[in-house]
């Protein structure tokens, strides 16, 4: 599997990922984090959010497959293309149209979900190709990934009936047609070296997005104000979220998490994504931790007693 395809499918929740395997999802709104979890699911990935606060993503139940979801006004609804073995919701615009990718056996196909009605969307429809969708804006522009089996693969922006090749994986799009994603192809204007970086595509121009000092930077979402969210990996291989605006980066981490990956942002600054929670110590480890802290407390008291005498 090509790395870019793996990235798309893992972010969309259609396949497993070492980063997301034990993750859950979050909503950040007005300075408050809350957990997004489809009832009864083993894993939930919140992928995008529109200005009405509607959230889309994917969830999995082990042994039963994966499905997309819409979370709106406190209620979850399942998204599943009829006959598919798995489905994932990648993006949602302000009209409530949802970009969906569905699996039928070994093939992946794109759909636009409009009020529960699925319309097939393929960048280059033929019997030997696969299409995966990552996002849709209010103008009906669509980003995604196309694979011609045994031939080539590319990331595309669909606009006004035309397809435009992107140099990396387009993961987020706003109403101005600005696209962000990781720059992971040899055709990337910044090369295919290390550290890996992201791109911003705007009005035919590509701009590099790279968190200072990071070993990799992956932009994943952009709103209509030009705010970009994504993930970077620091020099210690730790994963962090970021928010980028007007050339300035700010780290964005869920408190108490081992890793944070923002995936979507709306115009109010509400952010959705996934995080890996700090594991709760096993009982034996917890006993050792408590014992160690108790021992440390005794040692400190002994030292204080020695100093006083």
CATH code where residue 220 lies: 2.120.10.30
Q: Are residues 36 and 117 in the same domain?
A: yes
Q: Are residues 301 and 235 in the same domain?
A: no
Rounded Cα–Cα distance for residues 242 and 221 (Å): 11
Q: Are residues 221 and 100 in the same domain?
A: yes
Q: Does residue 303 register a pLDDT over 70?
A: no
| Per-residue buried b or exposed e for 24-60, using 16+ beta carbons within 10 Å of the residue's own CB | bbbbbbeeeeeebbbeebebbbbbbbbeebbbbbbbb
Give the closest residue to 47 by CA, choosing from 14, 75, 22.
14
Q: What is the mean pLDDT of the chain?
A: 81
Give the closest residue to 60 by CA, choosing from 85, 43, 77.
43
Rounded Cα–Cα distance for residues 140 and 91 (Å): 12
Q: Are residues 70 and 95 in the same domain?
A: yes
Q: Are residues 188 and 293 in the same domain?
A: no
pLDDT tens digit string along 47-61? 999 999 999 999 988
Q: Cβ(222)–Cβ(243) under 8 Å?
A: no
Q: Are residues 205 and 292 in the same domain?
A: no
pLDDT tens digit string along 157-200? 999 999 988 888 899 999 999 999 998 655 566 655 556 889 99
Structure-token pair, residue 250: 């700010």
Beta bridge partners of residue 25, listed in sequence order? 36, 274
Q: What is the span of the domain harbouring residue 258?
A: 3-278
Q: Cβ(239)–Cβ(259) under 8 Å?
A: yes
Q: Are residues 131 and 66 in the same domain?
A: yes
Give the closest residue to 275 by CA, choosing from 15, 13, 20.
20
Q: Are residues 175 and 294 in the same domain?
A: no
Structure-token pair, residue 218: 């992956």
Range of weakest confidence among 6-15, 79-88, 131-140, 275-284:
6-15
Q: Across the beta sheet with 205-209, what order do the strands follow?
A: 172-173, 179-182, 198-202, 205-209
Q: Are residues 42 and 189 in the same domain?
A: yes
Q: Cβ(111)–Cβ(90) under 8 Å?
A: no
Domains identified in the chain, total number: 2
Rounded Cα–Cα distance for residues 82 and 69 (Å): 14
Q: With 0-12 CB in 10 A as exposed, 13-18 as middle and 19+ as buried, what is 258? A: middle
Rounded Cα–Cα distance for residues 200 and 236 (Å): 26
Residue 168's pLDDT is what?
81
Q: Are residues 288 and 264 in the same domain?
A: no
pLDDT band, residue 24 (cuts 50/70/90): confident
């Amino acid at each position: 599997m090509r790395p870019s395809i793996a990235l798309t499918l893992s972010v969309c929740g259609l396949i497993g990922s070492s980063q997301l395997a034990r993750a859950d999802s979050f909503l950040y709104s007005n300075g408050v984090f809350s957990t997004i979890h489809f009832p009864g699911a083993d894993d939930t990935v919140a992928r995008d959010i529109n200005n009405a606060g509607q959230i889309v993503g994917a969830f999995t139940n082990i042994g039963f497959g994966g499905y997309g979801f819409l979370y709106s006004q406190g209620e979850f609804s399942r998204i599943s293309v009829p006959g598919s073995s798995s489905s994932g919701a990648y993006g949602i615009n302000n009209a409530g149209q949802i970009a969906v990718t569905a699996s039928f056996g070994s093939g992946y196909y794109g759909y636009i979900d409009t009020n529960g009605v699925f319309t097939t969307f393929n960048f280059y429809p033929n019997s030997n190709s696969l299409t995966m969708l990552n996002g849709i804006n209010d103008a009906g522009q669509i980003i995604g990934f196309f694979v011609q089996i045994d031939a080539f693969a590319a990331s595309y922006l669909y606009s006004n009936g035309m397809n435009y090749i992107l140099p990396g994986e387009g993961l987020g799009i706003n109403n101005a047609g600005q696209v962000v994603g990781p720059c992971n192809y040899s055709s990337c204007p910044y090369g295919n070296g290390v550290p890996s970086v992201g791109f911003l595509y705007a009005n035919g121009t590509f701009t590099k997005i790279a968190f200072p000092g990071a070993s990799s930077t992956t932009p994943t979402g952009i709103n209509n104000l030009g705010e970009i969210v994504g993930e970077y990996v620091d020099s210690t291989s730790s994963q962090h979220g970021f928010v980028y605006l007007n050339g300035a980066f700010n780290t964005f981490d869920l408190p108490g998490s081992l890793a944070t990956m923002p995936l979507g942002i709306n115009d109010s600054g509400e952010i959705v994504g996934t995080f890996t929670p700090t594991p709760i110590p096993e009982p034996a480890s917890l006993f050792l931790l408590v014992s160690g802290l108790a021992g440390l407390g005794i040692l400190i008291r002994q030292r204080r007693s020695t100093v006083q005498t």
